[in-house]
Structure 1
Amino acid sequence: MREIQRALAIGSHPDDIEIGCGGTIAKWVKEYGVEFYTMTMTQGESGGIPEVRMKEQEAAGRLLGVHKHFWGDYKDTKLPLCNDLIADIEGVINEIKPDVVLVHYHQDTHQDHRSVATAAITASRYTSNLLFYEGPSTYGFTPVTFVDITDSINQKYGALYAHNSQVSKTNVKNLLITQIAEATAIFRGVECRAKYAEGFMPFRFFL
């Protein structure tokens, strides 16, 4: 971890990052002093009021210790895989020069997630480490890299609750997003012998 000084997490919509790697962000910031940046490519207007969702995202970032948040200007559910998307991500990467980029896994039932994941592969081609995180719509995800988030799980929950307009929008009756996050963290924890963990699939990972 001494080699990682700056990191960038990218999501398609507000709350994607917190679901996929919120515990890792909180842990790396607190325990290792990593300067963490985040980038969201849409304002999540298909799932709520854009202004509300943007405020929720900024609040969640503060709870995790995020240094700065960047916004894309793409339409929710209509995020194209194109040169502009690659260039926008690459522009942020060139500005902050992260040692590691974390992004959606490209096998995902949401088209926006697939576009951002694929664009990030190209945009981060000169970055040493690229890790894919999982979310509720990810499929075929078999992590081989894990982060023990036992000590930061409550910060992850807090960041998810900051997305107040989205907490109960899971498409499953009476199931909260925090409950999905807990179940996933327990399962990944069992895989790596920790109480709670987040799993990642490396595209490129230097030890």
Structure 2
Amino acid sequence: MKCDILAIGAHPDDVELGCGGTIAKLISEGKKIGIIDLTQGELGTRGTIETRAQEASDAAKILGISARENLKLKDGFLNNSEEYQLKIAEMIRKYRPEIVFANAIDDRHPDHAKAAKLISDACFISGLRKVETYNDKGDLQEVWRPKHIFHYIQWKNVEPDFVVDISGFLDKKIESCLAYKTQFYDPSSTEPVTPITTKDFLESLTYRAQDLGRLSGVEFAEGFTTEKLIAIKNFDGIVCN
């Protein structure tokens, strides 16, 4: 199944937190979007592999994702190896996206920046004809290289190269994030407190989107960075602040 966009995250919930509003908006416009989680988030302070898997499935249903897979790479120990690049390249060749959303290029969790580079390199080798990968049936896959890689913003306030207007879709983003019941603010929980389980972090999803919206002249926005210069065909759709 071909997807217009493949959103890839080091951990289940990375994609929802980083670009859930953008995904919800694009799906409402008829785009097919898939999510690839690189790890099962098994080193997370809260939750288990099983609960994270169920939460990821619930979040995908909320957003209306066309496909979601988990590569079960090693949480906390992502590395830019040939093995990991090839596993991601298999997904790129399977879903043949025009655009890939990837982890932040710089962030608090070391897996995020590592994943950003790993995903970028995998997108490149996926377009090399002499790199062979195979599908689940053992058939040789055709080469495919996405046209663009855009990195969503996570914990750190990385300055975006552009923002997407998600006005009208912030509630859907937050709903998809709250599907991860074990991971975020729950006053009744007896599990250890982490930086992302605080009420302040949950509220930051709104005030960050508001601030990016304020700067760009819309109600709410999500920011992205890009690895290469992008061109626009015309000025239709650009919001003037």
User: Would you say same fold, with TM above 0.5?
Assistant: yes
> 1:142 and 1:45 mapped to 2: Cα distance?
30
Instruction: Give the 4+ runs in structure 1 shifted more than 6 A.
Output: none
Distance of aligned partners of 1:178 and 1:94 in 2 relative to their CA distance in 1, 3 Å threshold: same
Residue pair 1:15, 1:160 contacting (<8 A) in 2 also: yes
Selected match of 1:164 from 160, 181, 184 = 181
Secondary structure of the 1:200 match is: strand
Cα distance change of structure 1 residues 162 and 177 upon mapping to structure 2, 3 Å threshold: farther
1:160–1:178 CA contact under 8 A, matched in 2: no
CA distance in 1, matches of 2:104, 2:198: 27
In structure 2, do the counterparts of structure 1 residues 192 and 13 end up closer, same or farther at CA, with 3 Å as the change threshold? same
Contact 2:39 2:70 (8 Å CA) reproduced: yes
Residue from 21, 24, 42 that aligns with 1:23: 21
Change (3 A) 1:164 1:173: closer
In terms of Rg, which structure is larger? 2
Q: CA deviation at 1:200?
A: 0.6
Q: How does 1:12-161 map to 2 (within 5 A)?
A: 12-30=10-28, 32-47=29-44, 48-125=47-124, 126-136=145-155, 138=156, 141-161=158-178
Q: What is the RMSD of the two structures over their aligned residues, measured on CA atoms?
A: 1.9
Deviation at 1:7, TM superposition (A): 0.2
Q: Distance in 2 between matches of 1:203 and 1:7?
A: 16
Q: Are residue 203 (structure 1) and residue 200 (structure 2) matched?
A: no
Alpha-carbon offset, residue 146 of structure 1 = 1.1
Letter in 1 for 2:9: G
* Number of equivalences: 201
Q: How far 1:196 sits from its partner (Å)? A: 0.6
2: CA distance, partners of 1:174 / 1:20: 17
Cα 1:67–1:173 shift into 2, 3 Å: closer
Structure 1 residue aligned with 2:9: 11
* Cα distance in 2 between the residues matched to 1:8 and 1:191: 28
* 3-state SS of paired residue (2:227): strand
Measure how far apart 1:75 and its partner are. Answer: 2.1
Letter in 2 for 1:131: F
Sequence identity (%):
29
Q: Tell me the TM-score normalized by structure 2.
A: 0.78
Aligned equivalents of 2:165 and 2:52: distance in 1? Answer: 28
> 1:92 offset after TM fit, Å?
0.6
> Which runs of 5 or more structure 2 residues have no equivalent in the other structure?
125-144, 186-192, 233-241
Please report how far the alpha carbon of residue 206 of structure 1 lies from its aligned counterpart in structure 2 after TM superposition.
5.2
Whole-Å Cα distance in 2 between the matches of residues 172 and 113 of structure 1?
15
Aligned-pair CA distance for 1:177? 4.1
